[in-house]
Amino acid sequence: MIGLITILILLACLVLAFFVLIQNPKGGGLSGTFGSISSQVMGVKQSTDVMEKGTWISMAVVAILCIFSVSLYESPKMDDGSSKQTKQRSSAPAQQQKAPAGKK
């Protein structure tokens, strides 16, 4: 199941990258600093709205799938039902420190 979720996350990331890369810059940042003039025609504004909605939706899908994949993750279990890390910690022998020998 985790493999399927991972593949879906990768596909959603590709869709998100597609939407981000095909958008025209809005004129802010460095492109506006150097005096570039952008003109908007009636149809371009509508397609920009669709691409922006697609960006937000695909970003939400990636976030939801990532949260969902974490809820499906299980820690490795040992035969007796305890987790592997707990078993390793409890089976490690305790180091006993000897008292330093005093000089007479």
Predicted local distance difference test score (pLDDT) of residue 31:
47
Contact 72, 5 (CB under 8 A): yes
Name the amino acid, one letter, at 45.
Answer: K
Predicted local distance difference test score (pLDDT) of residue 67:
93
pLDDT in tens, the chain (104 residues): 888 999 999 999 999 999 988 887 765 544 455 554 554 444 556 667 888 899 999 999 999 999 999 888 777 776 765 555 555 555 555 566 766 776 65
Distance between CA atoms of residues 57 and 7, nearest Å: 18
Predicted local distance difference test score (pLDDT) of residue 94:
59
Give φ, ψ of 30 to 5 degrees: -70, -30
